[in-house]
Amino acid sequence: MIETSINVLLSVANLRKWFELRKGIFGKALYVKAVDDVSFKLNKGEAVSLVGESGSGKTTLGKTILGLYKPTSGEIIFDGKELWNSKSNDLMHYHQETGLVQQDPFGALPPFMSIQRVLTEPLAVHKIRSSSEKNERVHKALEEVRLTPVDDFVNKYPHMLSGGQQQRLVIARAMILDPKMIIADEPVSMLDASVRIEILTLLKDLQDKHDLSVVYITHDLSTTRYFSEWIFIMYAGKIVEKARTKELLRNSLHPYTQALLKTIPDPDPDNRFKPRDIPPGEPPNLVNPPEGCRFHPRCIYAMAGMCNQKEPPEFEVEKDHFASCWLYG
């Protein structure tokens, strides 16, 4: 996935998304540097997990990739075409080939629309007017997310569904236009633990069936093993580690990734009160992030004169395993 090839569906290069906050002293603009110089590639049919704490910039990155935010700078190339150099009708076509699964299924679904209308709205927006085609797509989408018998669901409203069923409907809406890529933003964080694996399994089945590329956004490393081939770790607007899922979970390199792994709950009740070696503090203010490595104020390995002054580049420490950390420089 890291190498350039004809299989690359999405290429993100030096992407920045800064939000202007207000004017500072002497009229100088202040910016929230939510996404700051992010680069990666995603192959056709692959899934990547984008992992980080709240405020790390992962949701902003997802929305910028989808074209919901215009980048401050950098490139987004999808299927060989640069997104923001396209004409407006090309952007409409891009939205047809991408889908979004939101975190809160109930908040994502209009309560006054029936399931039939929820699923036909995207078809109408993209000029699919044939009633027979609409009905065929709605039935196919509901069958694929296992809301069956379909006739028992099409006339219901979102509040009549369970949380898991609502999320299945959100997935059906994301898939209704037969996209090449979807971004799933914390798709199981609002669901009961018993339902989470079912939804992740459903997404994996859809990925395999449709050769779908997926960006799975989460703060929970424990769910990534069920779903993605790759993990990208994000901290304070930057990707700090990239590796295949099994490799990263087995051999994490960046101190921040190691800290995230320590936050995964231990199923052994005898260990629940044992102290964990978790770094102190909180993620930095993205209006004025630290000089050098942005993790250095919380890092037990920080080296004075290096980590607090120079931003580390991305080092390929092992084959296809990258870390932005001076420990490997």
Residue 194 pLDDT greater than 60, yes or no? yes
> What's the pLDDT tens digit per position in 7-19?
999 999 999 999 9
Q: Which of the pair, 147 or 5, is modelled with greater confidence?
A: 147
Give the pLDDT band of residue 4 (cuts 50, 70, 90). Answer: very low
Give pLDDT, residue 264: 73
Other Cβ atoms less than 10 A from the Cβ of 160: the count is: 12
Nearest Cα to 151, choosing from 111, 116, 110, 103?
116
E-only strand ranges, 277-328: 315-318, 321-323
Across residues 304-313, what is the average pLDDT? 94
Q: Which of 47-56, 174-183, 272-281, 307-316 has the lowest mean pLDDT?
A: 272-281
pLDDT over 70 for what percent of the chain? 91
User: What are the tens digits of pLDDT across the range 107-133?
Assistant: 999 999 999 999 999 998 888 888 899
- Please compute the mean of the pLDDT values over residues 243-251 and round it to a whole number: 95
Task: Quickly tell me which residue has 């490139």 as its tokens.
Answer: 75
Mean pLDDT of the chain: 89
pLDDT score for 295: 96
- Is the Cβ–Cβ distance between 234 and 217 less than 8 Å? no
Residue 1, pLDDT score: 41
Mean per-residue pLDDT for 212-236? 92
Instruction: Find the mean pLDDT for residues 241-249.
Output: 96
Q: Give the model's pLDDT for residue 209.
A: 95
The mean pLDDT value for 88-99 works out to 83
For the cut 80, the answer to whether the pLDDT of residue 22 exceeds it is no
pLDDT confidence of residue 130: 87
The second-level CATH assignment, the architecture, of 8-97+177-328 is: 3-Layer(aba) Sandwich (3.40)
Query: Is 43 in contact with 1 (CB distance < 8 Å)?
Result: yes
Read off φ and ψ for residue 276, nearest 5 degrees: -115, 145
CA dihedral over 206, 208, 214, 217, signed as positive or negative: positive
Q: Which residues contact 270 (CB under 8 A, 6 or more apart)?
A: none
Query: Model confidence at 29, in pLDDT bands (50, 70, 90)?
Result: confident
Give mean pLDDT, residues 62-79.
94
Instruction: Express as a percent the part of the chain with pLDDT over 90.
Output: 71
Q: What is the largest CA-CA distance in the chain?
A: 67
Range 24-31 average pLDDT: 75
pLDDT score of 3? 44
How large is the average pLDDT for residues 201-223?
Answer: 93
Q: What is the mean pLDDT of residues 256-270?
A: 74
